[in-house]
Chain A
Amino acid sequence: MASCGNPATEQDALMLRRTKFDKTRVCIKCRTNPGNVVIRHAVYCKECFFPMMSTKFRRTLEPSINAIPNGPRKKGLKPAGNLFLGFSGGLGSTVLLDLVSQCYFSNPTGEDAAKGGTDHPRNASVWKKATVCYVEMCNALPGTRDRTDEMRAAVEHYGHFDFLPLRIENAFDDAWWQKVGGQRPESHFNVDLANEELFMSAQPSPSSDSVASLRAYISSLPTQTAVPTAIQTLIRLLLLHTAWSTESSHLVLGTSLTSLSVSLISSISQGGGFVVREEAEEEWQPTVHVGSKRTVRVNRPLRDIGMKECAVWAWWHGLQVVGKESFLGGKQGIGALTKNFIVGLERDYPSTVSTIARTCGKLAPKDGSDTTCILCERPAQLGVQEWKARISIRSFDEPALASPPPHLQNVPSLPVPGPPDAAPPASLTPRLCYACHTTLTSRSSRGSTSSSLHANSTPLPMWVVSDLGQGGAHDHDSEQWRTRKMQERDMKESIAEFLLPDS
C-alpha cells in the first residue's frame, strides 16, 4: 500500500515506486516462463516475443496487400504489383527488412515445411520481386559521409532483395526523372521564396548540376525546421516515383509506433493536420496518372511496434544497425524537439505514445479535397490562402504596424499592387497545400537559415517543374484570382446598376 506522508519525519513515508509492468513477472502469453521484456506494461518471455512481433507486423500489413483493402483473404494474398521497401539504415527499417525477409521470402520451416512440398502454392512468394531503395543524403547534409556501400551490404546479406540506391539530388535531376517515366519539361522555373506569393520566373538555362540545385533549394528555406521537412518530402517523393516506375503496388516503410507518433505530432505542428491520415497510410499515384488503376499503397507495418520492441528484436536477432544521419534540424527544430518529447514520454508513460497514433488514426478532415499539392502530392485543402489572408496581417501600411516585427525587418514586403491591367507573374502559392506553403515561407523570430533572405531564384524538384511545364504555370483555362484594394469609386461603379437613384 502506498503512503504519502511526510518523508522528512517518517522514514517509510515515501510512495512506493510503481513498477513498469502489470502484476507479475511471468510472461502474459505462455504464463509459464519468467518474462524477459516489458512492452507497454505487458511482460513477454523471449520465446513469445518473436511470434508476437511477427503477428503484429502481419496484422498491420496483410489487410492492405490485396487490391481491395480489408477484403477477404481466404484465397491468399495477391498484390497487384511488386514490393518496394524504403530503407534508411535506421533501427526501424533494419527490423522491417528482417521481418519482410522472414515472413515473405524465407523458406518455411517446422511443420509447414513438410506440408505439400516446396512447390506447393502456399510456399510461393507473395510478391514476385522486392526492391529495397536507399536514398543517400550526404549532399544535403554537410559533414556527413556516403553510406551507400554499407547499406548495400546490409541488404544484399539477405539474398532475395534487389538493392536500388538513389541520391537525394535526384529530385533535381532530369535523367532520374525520365528514368522513372517523367516527361522532360519544356521549360524550367525558379521560385521566389522571399515572397509569400511564391512568384515564379522562367529559368532560361537550367542548371545541369543537380547537387547545386539541391543545395540552393535547401539553403533558400526560411527556418531550421523547414530543412528536415523539405528533405523528408523529397525522400518521400523520390521513393514514390521510383516505386511507381518499378511497378510496385506497395511501398513499405520502417516507421515504428514511436517514429509515427513523432511524425504525426511534428506534422500537425507544422500545419499538416489536413493530411494526418496520409501520414499513417496513403494511396498514391503520380499527378500525370491520376485516375489510372495502378496506385502505390504506402504502408507502415511497424506502426503498432515501438522503438523498444524494435531494439530488442534487433539485439536478439543479432542484426547490425548501420545507422542513419540525423537530419532533424538541430536541437531547436520542431522535429528534434518532438522526438525528444515523445522518446521521454515513451519511457515514463509508454502507453501514451500508442494513444497518440491511435487517436490520430481516428481523425479525418471535415471537408474532402479534389486538389493535390504540387510539391508533396498529397491532398490540399481548398481555400487555404483566402482563410490565411483573413486571419493574418499581410502588410505594414497601418501606422501602428509601420515597423515590422524584428524577425521580418529584413524580409522584402509584399509587392505593391500594380496597375489593374498588368498581368501578374505566375504564382506557386495556389498550387501548394497549407503545410508546404508554410514550410517554404513561414519565418521565425529565431533560427533563420543564413541565406534564406536571398531566396529569390530557388530551383524546384522535377515533379513540380514537370507539372508546371505542362501548362500549370500559365494555365489559361482555369480561373485566375487576384486580390487588390479597390477605390470607393471603383466599388460604386461595379455595383452601379443595382443602386437606387437618390430621390
Chain B
Amino acid sequence: MSLSLKVEFSGGLELLFSNQRSHKLSVPALVPKTYGETSSETKPADITFLIHHLRDNLLKERVELFMENGTVRPGILVLVNDTDWELEGEGEYPLKEGDEIVFISTLHGG
C-alpha cells in the first residue's frame, strides 16, 4: 500500500530539485523503523522518512544544503497542509494520503 503526496519546494530549494517547484510522488505507507535498513520492524511513513526519500530519489545536488543530522538543515521551514510542522510533531508526523508538504528555505538571501 502506498500514499500519494504533493511536495513543493520554495525559497531557492527548488534549485536543488531539478528547478521544479512542485512534485507529485507516492511513498510506501509502512517503512522500516530505521531508514535504509531491511528489518522486519516497520512504522507508518513519517516526514523523517520523506526527507530521506527525497534526498535519495529527487535531490540532484548538494545534499548539505538540504539535510543535516538526519533532518532538514536549520533555516528550512516545513509546512504540512499549510501548517507549521512544529505543531504536527516535526519529523514524527505520520504521512496521510493526499498530504501537501512544503519545504521553504529561509536562507535564499535576506
Interface check A82, CB cutoff 8 A: no
Interface check B42, CB cutoff 8 A: no
Interface check B50, CB cutoff 8 A: no
> With A311-B77, A346-B74, A347-B75 known to touch, is A90 a contact of B83 (CB < 8 Å)?
no
Give the distance to chain B from A36, nearest Cβ to Cβ, in Å. Answer: 5
Q: Are B83 and A307 in contact (CB under 8 A)?
A: no
Q: Which of B102, B108, B109 has the most CB of A within 10 A?
A: B109
Contacting B at CB under 8 A, from A39-54, are: 43, 46
Compute how far the CA of A20 lies from the CA of B75 in the bound complex, rounded to whole angstroms: 15
Q: Are B84 and A89 in contact (CB under 8 A)?
A: no
Q: Are B83 and A91 in contact (CB under 8 A)?
A: no
Q: Are A321 and B108 in contact (CB under 8 A)?
A: yes
Chain A residue contacts of B106, Cβ below 8 A: 91, 258, 307-308, 310-311, 343
Interface check B10, CB cutoff 8 A: yes
Compute how far the CA of A312 lies from the CA of B83 in the bound complex, rounded to whole angstroms: 10
Q: Are B83 and A321 in contact (CB under 8 A)?
A: no
Chain A residue contacts of B58, Cβ below 8 A: none
Contacting A at CB under 8 A, from B81-110, are: 82-84, 86-87, 90, 102, 104-110
Contact with B along A343-384 (1 / 0, CB 8 A): 110111000000000000000000000000000000000000
Interface check B12, CB cutoff 8 A: yes
Contact among A38, A88, A311, A343 with B74 in the assembled complex (CB-CB below 8 Å)? A343
Interface check B5, CB cutoff 8 A: no
Give the distance to chain A from B90, nearest Cβ to Cβ, in Å. Answer: 8
Chain B residue contacts of A21, Cβ below 8 A: 86-87
Contact among B79, B86, B107, B109 with A88 in the assembled complex (CB-CB below 8 Å)? B109
Give the distance to chain B from A11, nearest Cβ to Cβ, in Å. Answer: 15
Contact among B83, B84, B109 with A324 in the assembled complex (CB-CB below 8 Å)? B109
Interface check B44, CB cutoff 8 A: no
Chain B residue contacts of A37, Cβ below 8 A: 83-84, 87
Compute how far the CA of A88 lies from the CA of B108 in the bound complex, rounded to whole angstroms: 11
Q: Are B10 and A315 in contact (CB under 8 A)?
A: yes
Interface check B11, CB cutoff 8 A: yes
Give the distance to chain B from A203, nearest Cβ to Cβ, in Å. Answer: 36
Q: Are B77 and A312 in contact (CB under 8 A)?
A: yes
Q: Which single residue of chain B is at the shortest CB-CB distance from A350?
A: B86
Q: Are B108 and A255 in contact (CB under 8 A)?
A: no
Interface check A222, CB cutoff 8 A: no
Interface check A267, CB cutoff 8 A: no
Contact among A38, A254, A314, A343 with B107 in the assembled complex (CB-CB below 8 Å)? A343
Chain B residue contacts of A43, Cβ below 8 A: 87
Chain A residue contacts of B104, Cβ below 8 A: 311-312, 314-315
Chain B residue contacts of A324, Cβ below 8 A: 108-110
Interface check A323, CB cutoff 8 A: yes
Q: Are B82 and A36 in contact (CB under 8 A)?
A: yes
Contact with A along B1-44 (1 / 0, CB 8 A): 00000000011100000000000000000000000000000000
Contact among B79, B82, B90, B110 with A307 in the assembled complex (CB-CB below 8 Å)? B110
Interface check A64, CB cutoff 8 A: no
Q: Are B83 and A36 in contact (CB under 8 A)?
A: yes
> With A91-B109, A92-B110, A315-B104 known to touch, is A38 a contact of B86 (CB < 8 Å)?
yes
Interface check A439, CB cutoff 8 A: no
Chain B residue contacts of A34, Cβ below 8 A: 83
Interface check A228, CB cutoff 8 A: no
Contacting B at CB under 8 A, from A5-23, are: 19-21
Contact among B74, B82, B86, B87 with A46 in the assembled complex (CB-CB below 8 Å)? B82
Contact among B79, B83, B110 with A35 in the assembled complex (CB-CB below 8 Å)? B83
Chain B residue contacts of A322, Cβ below 8 A: 109
Q: Which single residue of chain A is at the shortest CB-CB distance from B109?
A: A90
Give the distance to chain B from A310, nearest Cβ to Cβ, in Å. Answer: 7
Contact among A93, A311, A326 with B11 in the assembled complex (CB-CB below 8 Å)? A311
Q: Which single residue of chain A is at the shortest CB-CB distance from B15?
A: A323
Q: Are A315 and B102 in contact (CB under 8 A)?
A: yes
The contact sample of 8 A-B pairs, CB cut-off 8 A, is A21-B87, A38-B84, A38-B87, A93-B110, A312-B77, A324-B108, A324-B110, A347-B74
Given contacts A38-B87, A90-B110, A254-B110, 18 further A-B contacts (CB under 8 A): A21-B86, A34-B83, A35-B83, A90-B108, A92-B110, A255-B110, A256-B110, A258-B106, A259-B110, A311-B11, A315-B11, A315-B102, A315-B104, A321-B109, A322-B109, A323-B109, A344-B74, A347-B74
